[in-house]
Amino acid sequence: MNPFLDLGIRHEVVNAITEMSFEKPSPIQEKAIPVLLTGNDDFVGLAQTGTGKTAAFGLPLLELIDFTQKHPQALVLCPTRELCLQIAKDLEKFAKYIDNVSVVAVYGGANISDQLRQIRRGVQIVVATPGRMLDIIGRNAIDFSNVKYVVLDEADEMLNMGFQEDINNILSETPDTKKTWLFSATMPREVRRIAQNYMTDPHELTVGTKNTGNANIEHHYYLIKAKDKYAAFKRIVDYYPEIFGIVFCRTKIETQEIAEALVRDGYNADSLHGDLSQQQRDKVMKRYRDRSLQLLIATDVAARGIDVNDVTHVINFSLPDEVENYTHRSGRTARAGKTGVSLSLVNVKEQGKIRRIEKIIGKPFVKKEVPQGTEVCEKQLFAIVDKIRNVDINEEQINPFLPTIMESMQDLSKEDIVKRLASLEFNRFLEYYQNAPDLNLDARDSRSRDGGERGDRDDRRSRTASKGYTRLFMNLGSVDEFSRGDMLGFICNNANIPGKSVGKIDLKGVFTFFEVEDAEVNKVFEGFKGVDYNGRQVRIEVSGEERGGSREGRSRDRGSRGGDRRDRSRGERRSGGSSERRGGDRERGGFRDFSGKRKESRSRY
Ligand code: AMP
């Protein structure tokens, strides 16, 4: 038997939610539905967003409401227009097979006449944001005298947004006999006060730990210098090629600056903040939901109530002023039982804030290292390989060209073709990151202590050479079937130097870092001049970070990565966070158009 039927939900609704792939109740649904179905109690549910709260109160409402009557019997108040629309839509979906159900969504920023017309036609469930609801009450356009249930959804967020007084006024319009169901992710004093003032002996239920974040969220932080923040942020984004994230900033100016810098650098990003018109906001949100945007840069207030599934990362570009807001931010990921990462970029001074947030979420942060350029390259390479494997092939379109293509490739082995294909995009990352500095604060501190040199004792991933050695880069690696021994031989033979002159060899996928005694460096350059390996010209360069500083941050304007630069040439322009860029450049799991014409003249640090 379907577990929802067991809980007392009627067949029609069970059929509808089965179509929505609800197989079994979520923990909050399992606990709340039996209590709410009695219709006798006030109720306080402490649960994070994304835990299935809407059905937890929505399914019981559908059982308790008399749909033969055409007057409002339930009022759901929620903080934002997005959530309001989402709840109304969900309720309609749950009620798909029940006759005569009428749900109206009442929210600001939209035509009030349409909403009034719907109310006049007769509704049983009103889902509303507080401001617009008060407006309608003020016009005497709604009769709440038969309301039996009031749901306060995301109560903490409503109070955060300053709706306390509006809520009081709205509640005073409803009968004393109504039952109030309050849902909140956190239980600050103000929410507790609502429970005390408006509820009688409420049934309390907690899913997860009180005031803590969702257990499926991992919390990471990166310790960096403030001036390296943007560079570190981009590195991290590049390290997660499949990222679909919300980036939090403290001010709207910051959101705009970051979004603009990201767009310049070829990322699909846009900003969401309080200065946008509702129309602009809707457009940005639509593009984010459609995944035409990979990164949504938002302020706390603008992001409230955003309900987008599958957000992989919440990025705290700046930590929130109020540490309590951290929970709201991180709750945008790991929805509906999924996992997610909330990561924060912090400087030394902000470490105390991390400790305070740990107390609130009841979970320690994991300190992470900003990935090294080589690590980013490896990650990107495998993302490219994955993409090549999974690309959709339009047989009809490509088949006519195949004979010509095959002919022009006939002298290349399968391996050669694979390497070339992967290198098409990979080389750009390689080039961009080959001398990229270590952006971790610890690393930079120890370097300055050492007077500009960091010995390899203190960091195995050191990108500087051992004393007396120079660290060199070569564009061949393990995929070219070199072992360390082979590589040593290859270097010694070509450079005509003894094995003892070669220090550490760091063999990577398609490239290698190796150390050579300072005195022998020229021989290596000379020896490898004009050398080919399997048809590829061998390239040797000095590796090192001293020249770099935080250039990544500064050179953000020059084609740092894929992106869909073509869009910009179509005259589509960003302004005020509402740029209209083409949405069709989405790819399987990724967002960048790797075939896009990225600027080649990237700075080389
Ligand atoms: P909510 O917390 O109500 O916003 O729900 C978060 C997401 O989980 C929504 O996409 C719901 O459709 C989905 N969801 C809610 N309950 C269930 C369930 N029992 N099984 C599967 N998905 C669910």
**Overall number of domains in the chain:** 4
For 495, the domain range is: 463-593
Pairing of strands 512-517, 502-507: antiparallel
One domain for residues 531 and 494: yes
Decide if 80 is inside a domain.
Answer: yes
Tokens of 460: 């195995």
How many angstroms separate the Cα of 26 from the Cα of each of 31, 208, 336, 341? 9, 12, 9, 21
The answer to whether residues 518 and 466 touch, using CB atoms and an 8 Å cutoff, is no
One domain for residues 366 and 382: no
One domain for residues 481 and 504: yes
Residue nearest to atom 6 of ligand 1 (CA): 50
One domain for residues 238 and 182: no
One domain for residues 489 and 579: yes
Decide if 335 is inside a domain.
Answer: yes
What number does the ligand 1 atom closest to the CA of 25 have? 19
Cα of 334 vs centre of ligand 1, distance in Å, is 12
The pLDDT score that the predictor gives to residue 171 is 93
What number does the ligand 1 atom closest to the CA of 58 have? 3
One domain for residues 63 and 24: yes
Distance CA 36, CA 41 (A): 7
Cα of 399 vs centre of ligand 1, distance in Å, is 44
End residue of a domain, out of 179, 206, 233:
206
Q: In what order do the strands lie in the sheet with 103-106?
A: 103-106, 125-128, 74-77, 149-152, 179-184, 43-46, 203-206
Q: Candidates 5, 54, 214: which one to mutate for ligand 1, based on the most atoms within 8 Å of Cβ?
A: 54
Please state the pTM of the whole predicted model: 0.50
Q: What residue ranges line ligand 1, CB within 6 angstroms?
A: 20-22, 25-26, 29, 49-55, 307, 309, 335-336
Question: What would the pLDDT profile of 27-56 be if each residue is shown by its tens digit?
Answer: 999 999 999 999 999 999 988 777 899 999
Cα of 313 vs centre of ligand 1, distance in Å, is 19
Burial of 106 (0-12, 13-18, 19+ CB in 10 A): buried
Question: What would the pLDDT profile of 440-477 be if each residue is shown by its tens digit?
Answer: 887 544 443 333 323 332 333 345 667 888 988 888 88
Q: Could you say which DSSP state residue 437 is in? A: P
Question: What would the pLDDT profile of 324-369 be if each residue is shown by its tens digit?
Answer: 789 888 888 887 667 889 999 999 889 889 998 998 888 889 999 9
Who's near 124: CB < 8 A, 6+ residues apart? 65, 66, 67, 69, 70, 71, 72, 73, 74, 101, 102, 103
End residue of a domain, out of 385, 412, 433:
433
Cα of 431 vs centre of ligand 1, distance in Å, is 44
Helix (H) or strand (E) holding 220: strand 217-223
Cα of 78 vs centre of ligand 1, distance in Å, is 17
Residue 170 has pLDDT above 90, yes or no: yes
Q: Can you give the CATH number for the domain in which 278 is found?
A: 3.40.50.300
pLDDT band at 72 (very low <50, low <70, confident <90, very high): very high
Distance CA 403, CA 414 (A): 16
Alpha carbon distance, N-terminus to C-terminus of the chain: 65
Q: Could you say which DSSP state residue 296 is in? A: E
One domain for residues 518 and 384: no
Decide if 296 is inside a domain.
Answer: yes
The answer to whether residues 53 and 29 touch, using CB atoms and an 8 Å cutoff, is no
| φ and ψ at residue 348, rounded to 5 degrees | -55, -40
Decide if 438 is inside a domain.
Answer: no
Cα of 341 vs centre of ligand 1, distance in Å, is 19
Helix (H) or strand (E) holding 512: strand 512-517
| φ and ψ at residue 294, rounded to 5 degrees | -95, -30
Decide if 451 is inside a domain.
Answer: no
The pLDDT score that the predictor gives to residue 132 is 95
Tokens of 359: 């107390």
Residue 562 has pLDDT above 70, yes or no: no
Q: Taking the CB of residue 46, how many other CB atoms lie within 10 A of it? A: 22
Distance CA 305, CA 577 (A): 19
Question: What would the pLDDT profile of 499-534 be if each residue is shown by its tens digit?
Answer: 889 988 887 767 788 899 999 999 999 999 988 887
Residue nearest to atom 8 of ligand 1 (CA): 336
One domain for residues 575 and 429: no
How many angstroms separate the Cα of 183 from the Cα of each of 329, 334, 579? 17, 18, 35
Q: Which amino acid is at 566?
A: R
Question: What would the pLDDT profile of 106-160 be if each residue is shown by its tens digit?
Answer: 998 889 999 999 999 999 999 999 999 999 999 999 999 999 999 999 998 888 7
One domain for residues 333 and 388: no
One domain for residues 34 and 130: yes
Q: Can you give the CATH number for the domain in which 558 is found?
A: 3.30.70.330
In 319-478, beta strands by DSSP E: 340-346, 366-368, 469-474
